[in-house]
Amino acid sequence: MQTIFDTIKKVAIKIDHAIKTEDLGYADSENSSGEDQLKLDVKSDYIIEEAFKDISIVKSLVSEEKEGVLELHDEGKYTICYDPLDGSSLADVNLSVGSIFGIYEGELKAENLVASAYVVYGPRIELVLATKETKPQHYRAQNGLFNFISEITLNEKGKLNAPGGTQQNWADYHKTFVDDLFAQGYRLRYSGGMVPDLHQILLKGGGIFSYPGTSDVPNGKLRQLFEVVPFAFLYEQAGGQAVNDTGMRLMELIPSHPHDTSPCFFGSNYEIENMKQAYGIKA
């Protein structure tokens, strides 16, 4: 696993350089979800694929930017599902973006995730990773090297509220849930970038990020294998919870297609219990 983590560190430095030096324009292509691709999306995906293609323990790759599974090594042990540059359109307004990696062993379902990592490209390059044996480990890059900062633990209750999705399409009970937290004094922290938004809650001790099913997107927008499950793993390892709109653990998801999405709630225990109550979910 260390080889995979070391490769992610190398990839992070290269993608950060690309963000800071290359064209922010659109490529003349779409990803498998039909979204226009930025040249940076394509470049970041290429950097990651090139980095992992010669690592024999990597069986295959699944990218948000490509359809299907890229088989690499028959004798490999791990499949890496990744979003090479999540929230990439934020780069052209100089907001933070990120890369997300889910490392799976065996069938591509949440319970088979054995490690997770994400990189935040912001004022600094930061990396958070965890295995089943560790709490999330926070690193910060300096002069191209990643220095360990601390282990991450979520408080029982936080102060930050990151409500995603188009508000006019929220269910009434979801709006009540969100507004109730603000009435309790929670601070709005939402940039439209999943990685920096979830990173902030982890580093600031807690709160909740929600991207619910909505009338226009009933199954939510965020992809299970390379966005939702890797963060669900990290939030649970940090002592928090990660559930869908029925209260099911996101770590029990079984996607039927690599690009399946899910409504998702990541947060400290107090806020997730608030959500379950607002959604009428029996404890």
Q: Which positions lie near ligand P6P, rule CB under 6 A?
A: 86-87, 164-165, 192-194, 221
**Residue among 87 and 267 whose Cβ is closer to ligand P6P:** 87
Shortest distance in whole angstroms from residue 143 CB to ligand P6P: 28
Shortest distance in whole angstroms from residue 93 CB to ligand P6P: 13
Shortest distance in whole angstroms from residue 217 CB to ligand P6P: 8
Shortest distance in whole angstroms from residue 39 CB to ligand P6P: 16
Residue closest to ligand P6P (Cβ): 194
Shortest distance in whole angstroms from residue 167 CB to ligand P6P: 9
Please, which residues have CB within 8 angstroms of residue 257's CB and are 6 or more apart in sequence? none
Between CA 222 and CA 259 the distance in angstroms is 9
Please, which residues have CB within 8 angstroms of residue 125's CB and are 6 or more apart in sequence? 12, 13, 16, 119, 140, 141
Between CA 223 and CA 79 the distance in angstroms is 16
Shortest distance in whole angstroms from residue 192 CB to ligand P6P: 5
**Residue among 72 and 85 whose Cβ is closer to ligand P6P:** 85
**Residue among 78 and 258 whose Cβ is closer to ligand P6P:** 258
**Residue among 83 and 236 whose Cβ is closer to ligand P6P:** 83
Please, which residues have CB within 8 angstroms of residue 150's CB and are 6 or more apart in sequence? 138
Between CA 262 and CA 110 the distance in angstroms is 12
**Residue among 131 and 261 whose Cβ is closer to ligand P6P:** 261
Between CA 276 and CA 269 the distance in angstroms is 11
**Residue among 38 and 125 whose Cβ is closer to ligand P6P:** 38
> CB–CB of 214/170 below 8 Å?
yes
> What is the CA angle 219-220-221, rounded to 5?
125
